[in-house]
A = this chain, B = another copy of it.
Amino acid sequence: MTNQSASTTNRVLATIMNHRSIRKFKNEKLVPFQIETIVRAAQMASSSSFMQAYSIIGLTDPALKHELREITKTPYIEENGHLFIFCADLQRLTVMGTNQEKQDMQIMLESSAFYQIAVIDAALAAQNAVLAAESLGLGAVIMGAVNKDIKRLDDMLGLPQYVIPLFGIAVGVPDQQPEVKPRLPLEAVYFENRYSSETEQLERVQAYDNDMNHYYQTRSENNRNDGWSRKHIDILKMKIPLGAMTEYMRSKGFNIT
């Protein structure tokens, strides 16, 4: 049986609850043992029908890392202990098929259902990678920013059909110790049997906006007067065109509008 006091003593929960994204690393490369441990941990996540529909690319070439930093204006894309790019990968499933079979597989492979499966597989693996890194005393941050020029990244990595980059994970020895960010109240995220009413959601999100405003104003670095909803609404109403990413995904065989 399980133990009611587990949450305080259990090392897995302690690692999970202690997570904060690290964006500043000491100048120290990961050793092969650490990289291998992180990848093997990623591989142990569940995957849909055991398809393991993802690939991980370690970017170690300094010129490539520098270029990606320039594209993204993100220093920790270059300055880290190791940079992993996680990709959705439906290509590997096809390699043993005959040409006829490869053709016959297209309809299902190129469906949005299989695209979704591959994205989920990659993200499940990624969270194991982050926790494995943290358990080794390292820090990590997951970054969508690596996709700022997704076609260029695709070229760099030489990705075949049915393989697209989703996000990067920078790992390294932490050179900062940010506070743990308060999450949404549990009641705004978890419901029993039915999604909550709009009125209830509104109250919970409002309460959280106040919490986050307090957090942003009082944290040790980068203080600002900001809420949670306001920040996202202000970004989302900017109508930033995201069509390039969609066009790229379609060019790789994923049927996304």
Contacts and interface: CB of A to CB of B under 8 A. Distances in A.
A96 B209 CA distance: 10
Copies in the complex: 2
B195 A105 contact: no
Interface in A197-211: 198, 201-202, 205-206, 209
A48 interface: yes
Interface in A79-132: 91-97, 101, 104-105, 107-109, 111-114, 116-117, 119-120, 122-128, 130-132
A128 B123 CA distance: 11
B131 A16 contact: yes
Residue from A51, A127, A130 whose CB has the most chain B CB atoms within 10 Å: A127
A245 B122 CA distance: 21
Contact of A12 (B11, B167, B235): B11
Nearest to A128: B16
A230 B95 CA distance: 10
Contact of A46 (B36, B142, B255): B142
Contacts of A230: 96
A46 B130 contact: yes
Nearest to A185: B43
A195 B86 CA distance: 12
Q: Closest 9 CB pairs between A and B?
A: A123-B123, A12-B135, A127-B127, A96-B229, A104-B237, A11-B11, A105-B236, A43-B183, A113-B242
